[in-house]
Structure 1
Amino acid sequence: MIHLYRIGGEKSSLPASGAPAPLDDDVIWIDMLDPTDADMHTVETLLGVMLPTRESLKDIEPSSRFYTQGDAVYMTASVVMNVDFGLAHLTDVGCILAAGRLVTIRHAEPKPFFLFSADMKRLPLQPGQGAKVLVYLLDAVVDRTAEIIELAVSKIDNISIAVFGEGARGRRRPPAELEERLIEISTYHRLISKTRDSLTTLARLATYVQSLQAVRDDKPTKDLCRIVAHDIQSLAEHVGFVSSNISFLLDSSLGLINLEQNNIMKLFSVVSVVFAPPMLIAGIYGMNFDIMPELHWNFGYPAALVGMFLTMFLAIYWLRSRGWF
């Protein structure tokens, strides 16, 4: 699917069949969503450049993600998606600057693209400013990344309060409850990890874009790109701090699970110690030997019961004096 965006944010679709008509000068952004071979051929014919395949977008080497071929500039960035509906993951987006236009190739629908397309009508754009569109798009991606980090921080704070807050102090919690917290923590650990990977590629993209002649010659675009690069650096530092907090929360939750399990084993140990003396007395008088004078006492049975309870209380007193419970 090929979407054409004109100056002012007007959107139209370009059919893949038939001979394509030349693009109007006000078409400044060509967005290709899950393009077919026919879509790729159509855009290649219109712009006179080769477009990267889906497999080439997955390359992780910087030399394969950022390069210039002829008059076209090729860049690839990884964007976090699926944050609100499941496990977060990265999708690779190809960005090509050719003939004064921006071409994006993507095989998923990250939210920043939807938000940016809706805001294009308010952007001060002129024909041939594809690089400026790319910087604005990068700014939208960074803004969405900041929102994702804020969401993760808020959720992590809620988990921390549930684990260590006032309501959790002095309350015995089953390990299953803490295991649920561990699952939540692992989910946001994955989100922060993917966000950090995304910011790494975005930082490289911002640095590469600043080196482009079209950006250096346009002072507003250059200044905006510098601001975006600074924002990416700040977010990367903040993500590192959040990641360390998640690691601490994860280790603490595991420690609490171990404490709860130790308390359970401690309880079994206490019960065993408390009931060991009565069981000893009961075992002695359950042997049924012929010569056992106590078997013929009138008060032998009550004396055995008293001995059992007395040894139980003595064991409890001894354990409390040791601070076991």
Structure 2
Amino acid sequence: MTDSMFLAHRPGKPAQAVTGDADIAGAPWLDLVDPTPAEQALAARLTAQRIPTREDLEEIESSSRLFMEDDAVYLSTPLVRRMQDDFFISPVGFVLKRNRLLTVRFTAFSAFDVVAKQIAGRTDALSGDEVSVLLMEAVVDRLADILEHLGQALDTLSREVFQSDQPRRAVQADRTLRSLLQRVGRSGDLASSVRDSLLGMERIAIFVSENKKHDLSERLRGRLATVARDIGSLNDFVSQTSNKVQFLLDATLGFISIEQNNGMKILTVVSFIGVAPTLVAGIYGMNFHDIPELNWRYGYWYSLALMAATIVLPLLWFWHRGWLNRGR
């Protein structure tokens, strides 16, 4: 659970909690982290801007994510946060004015921490526009890192799916394939989440760079163009990753089908072996007086041996054909 915070970031100084007007003086970036209603009301009073709620930021239509209100640009996008083996999506909002940027988020993002350290380590003045570009660059870099780790995870999965190990027992194979299927599915979900984040960042970059009511300097336009190119290359990587996820999913399902077929082979062997001795027992269990072996001294043992032979001989034949795997 993220602690609620209302922070002001200034060049050359660490982040400071905002409690009044004096705390935002000279701060190009104000950051609301999982804000309480009181912190939202304070931010609205200090900035004279409407503060978007979480419900506002979770709207999916473009007109609700990218728009102008008075002289402020309102932007929002879903961002993926990855934590070790888990991840989730959380919305992020930007209220951009030329001299100040206000961000609204509901969880910690490492990209925001990186930019906070960069601003604290600088001594030159910053505008809200430049802070927004810094955040876009950091977010795209973070998404690239997530995709890099995802690519490595898929390479590992690929080796595990296609490894040529010794045959495993059925229970072990079932457990292994189930785990692989879950991991492939999670990788596909992560790739889809990253694609959504990239799409949101791409829309923000285009909207900000082409907004005539909020002109950027040529230098910042150039940096935004670089961000847009990076997003384009990452989108290509996501498409390639999605194709690989689909390939691994199909392969895993194929191996599951093979395991099911192997199970059906075993059932076929068992049912076939049970038919012949049942037939022998049925024949010699008939109540006909003229059965040739009825008065034979060895008839009982003969029938038992015949039933045993009808079990052993098919087993040997199936074993020779490879239907009975030694590893099972």
Coarse TM-score class (shorter-chain normalised): 0.7 to 0.9
Q: Check conservation: 1:30, 1:104, Cα contact below 8 A.
A: yes
Give 1:45's aligned residue: 45
Residue type of the alignment partner of 1:72: A
State how far apart, in whole Å, the 2-side matches of 1:281 and 1:177 are: 42
% same residue? 35
After superposition, the Cα gap between the structure-2 partners of 1:62 and 1:123, relative to the gap in structure 1 and judged at 3 Å, is farther
Give 2:226's aligned residue: 227
Give 1:57's aligned residue: 57
Give the superposition deviation at 1:39. Answer: 2.1
Residue type of the alignment partner of 2:247: F
State how far apart, in whole Å, the 1-side matches of 2:16 and 2:319 are: 79
- The 5-angstrom pairing of residues 37-186 of structure 1 reads 37-84=37-84, 86=86, 88-98=87-97, 100-122=99-121, 125-127=124-126, 129-167=127-165, 171=168, 174-186=173-185
Number of residues paired by the alignment? 318
- The 5-angstrom pairing of residues 248-287 of structure 1 reads 248-287=247-286
Q: Check conservation: 1:216, 1:222, Cα contact below 8 A.
A: no
State how far apart, in whole Å, the 2-side matches of 1:166 and 1:301 are: 50
Secondary structure at the counterpart of residue 219 of structure 2:
helix
Q: TM-score, normalised by structure 1?
A: 0.87
* Worse-superposed segment, 314-323 or 249-258: 314-323
Residue type of the alignment partner of 1:144: R
Give the superposition deviation at 1:4. Answer: 0.6
Q: Check conservation: 1:215, 1:222, Cα contact below 8 A.
A: no
Q: Check conservation: 2:16, 2:23, Cα contact below 8 A.
A: no
Give the superposition deviation at 1:125. Answer: 4.9
Secondary structure at the counterpart of residue 96 of structure 2:
strand
State how far apart, in whole Å, the 1-side matches of 2:24 and 2:315 are: 89
Give 1:300's aligned residue: 299
| Aligned structure 1 segments of 4 or more residues deviating by more than 6 angstroms | 320-323
* Worse-superposed segment, 221-230 or 158-167: 158-167
Q: Check conservation: 2:158, 2:248, Cα contact below 8 A.
A: yes
Give 2:12's aligned residue: 8
After superposition, the Cα gap between the structure-2 partners of 1:110 and 1:156, relative to the gap in structure 1 and judged at 3 Å, is same
Secondary structure at the counterpart of residue 22 of structure 2:
coil
State how far apart, in whole Å, the 1-side matches of 2:41 and 2:28 are: 19
Q: Check conservation: 2:205, 2:227, Cα contact below 8 A.
A: yes
State how far apart, in whole Å, the 2-side matches of 1:78 and 1:9 are: 29
State how far apart, in whole Å, the 2-side matches of 1:40 and 1:310 are: 84
Give 2:243's aligned residue: 244
Secondary structure at the counterpart of residue 21 of structure 1:
helix
Residue type of the alignment partner of 2:56: S
Q: Check conservation: 1:132, 1:215, Cα contact below 8 A.
A: no
After superposition, the Cα gap between the structure-2 partners of 1:23 and 1:273, relative to the gap in structure 1 and judged at 3 Å, is closer
State how far apart, in whole Å, the 2-side matches of 1:9 and 1:214 are: 31
After superposition, the Cα gap between the structure-2 partners of 1:212 and 1:283, relative to the gap in structure 1 and judged at 3 Å, is same
After superposition, the Cα gap between the structure-2 partners of 1:99 and 1:37, relative to the gap in structure 1 and judged at 3 Å, is farther
Q: TM-score, normalised by structure 2?
A: 0.86
Superposed CA offset, 1:133-175 (max 9, x none)? 10111111111111111112222222221121233x6555532
* Worse-superposed segment, 154-163 or 290-299: 290-299
After superposition, the Cα gap between the structure-2 partners of 1:153 and 1:68, relative to the gap in structure 1 and judged at 3 Å, is same
User: Does the alignment pair 1:24 with 2:22?
Assistant: no
Give the superposition deviation at 1:276. Answer: 2.3
Give the superposition deviation at 1:266. Answer: 0.8
* Worse-superposed segment, 200-209 or 279-288: 279-288
Give unpaired runs (5+ residues) of structure 1: none
Superposed CA offset, 1:71-105 (max 9, x none)? 1111112110143263x221111111125111101
State how far apart, in whole Å, the 2-side matches of 1:309 and 1:189 are: 53
After superposition, the Cα gap between the structure-2 partners of 1:217 and 1:268, relative to the gap in structure 1 and judged at 3 Å, is closer
After superposition, the Cα gap between the structure-2 partners of 1:121 and 1:311, relative to the gap in structure 1 and judged at 3 Å, is same
State how far apart, in whole Å, the 2-side matches of 1:117 and 1:189 are: 31
